[in-house]
């Protein structure tokens, strides 16, 4: 229970700080950078070496990419059926597809399942969501917006120099290695900062403005992201006969709220900024209910 109180309180604190303008406008960026450059790499180095080489470690990767791929075709089909504009379609292809697998996934799954879930959360995030963000996300932002200045030439460089990805590669070579107590405690201390800092940053970035004309694409986005995506993940697990911790974590990850960074990219590229922010903001709050339902169904 205390984990959920922490999650909600941290988000509320961030939101109140933003409303009262207590922090500078670049505070969310600074907090997210701390998480990306320090907290998340520390958690990866601490948790990934605990994995064992087995098919279980592959499950989150397979599910993440299949869920995203199938969801893309659903978004394209619905957008065509409902005659959504190019701008809105581009927005939905970002915020309906990319999941908040780390900033929301880590604290929520830690609350529901515990630390045993974290290695699979990190595999899903780094070898699924992050690579999709850097490649697929860049392509969508570039293709659907004439304003975007994102270059394909730097995609590979972005992936290879992303601190959590570097930490992941290093940690894969350390699987089975036991760190001494001092190093483990240092990594654990830095890793523990990810939850409060990331969630305060989430609160700082919440947007709730939603005009009537945005209700239809808004509804489509959240239905696909919060309901259809975990259903797809469940069906994949059923087809392959996967019923273990890795599969349950993957289904929960598929059910997470839209990725905040995806909303930021959509806004930066001029892809329905107001709609994108609303989908992310409301999606985070609604996901507390939907992830609770999903967890109880798969348990």
pLDDT in tens, 103-113: 788 888 988 99
Q: pLDDT > 70: what percent of the chain?
A: 93
Q: Once rounded to an integer, what is the mean pLDDT over residues 113-126?
A: 89
What whole-number distance in Å separates Cα of residue 228 and Cα of residue 250? 14
3 state DSSP class of 55: helix
28-42, 187-201, 225-239, 260-274: least confidently modelled range? 260-274
Whether the CB-CB separation of 157 and 134 falls below 8 Å is answered with no
* pLDDT tens string 184-238: 999 999 988 877 887 788 788 776 677 788 899 999 999 999 999 999 999 999 9
Instruction: Burial-class residue 139 by CB neighbours within 10 Å (0-12, 13-18, 19+).
Output: middle
- The pLDDT value recorded for residue 216 is 94
- The pLDDT value recorded for residue 150 is 52
* Domain segments of the chain as ranges: 2-298
Whether the CB-CB separation of 103 and 202 falls below 8 Å is answered with yes
CATH for the stretch 2-298: 1.20.1530.20
What is the model's pTM?
0.79
Q: State the chain's mean pLDDT as an integer.
A: 86
């Amino acid at each position: 229970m205390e984990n959920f109180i922490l999650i909600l309180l941290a988000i509320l604190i961030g939101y109140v700080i933003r409303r009262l303008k207590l922090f500078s406008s670049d505070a969310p960026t600074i907090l997210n950078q701390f998480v990306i450059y320090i907290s998340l790499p520390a958690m990866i180095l601490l948790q990934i070496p605990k994995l064992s080489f087995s098919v279980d470690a592959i499950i989150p990767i397979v599910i993440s990419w299949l869920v995203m791929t199938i969801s893309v075709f659903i978004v394209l089909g619905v957008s065509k059926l409902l005659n959504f504009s190019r701008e809105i379609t581009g927005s939905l292809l970002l915020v309906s597809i990319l999941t908040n697998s780390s900033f929301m996934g880590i604290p929520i799954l830690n609350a529901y399942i515990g630390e045993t879930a974290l290695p699979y959360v990190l595999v899903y995030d780094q070898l699924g969501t992050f690579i999709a963000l850097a490649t697929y996300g860049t392509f969508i932002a570039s293709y659907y917006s004439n304003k975007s200045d994102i270059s394909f030439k730097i995609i590979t460089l972005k992936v290879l120099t992303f601190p959590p990805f570097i930490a992941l590669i290093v940690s894969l070579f350390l699987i089975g290695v036991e760190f001494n107590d001092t190093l483990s405690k240092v990594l654990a201390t830095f890793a523990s900062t990810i939850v409060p800092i990331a969630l305060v940053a989430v609160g700082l970035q919440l947007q709730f403005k939603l005009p009537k004309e945005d209700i239809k694409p808004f509804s489509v986005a959240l239905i696909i992201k919060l309901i259809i995506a975990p259903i797809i993940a469940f069906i994949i697990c059923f087809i392959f006969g996967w019923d273990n911790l890795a599969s349950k974590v993957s289904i929960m990850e598929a059910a997470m709220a839209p990725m905040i960074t995806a909303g930021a990219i959509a806004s930066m590229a001029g892809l329905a900024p107001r709609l994108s922010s609303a989908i992310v903001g409301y999606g985070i709050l609604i996901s507390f209910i939907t992830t609770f339902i999903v967890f109880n169904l798969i348990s």
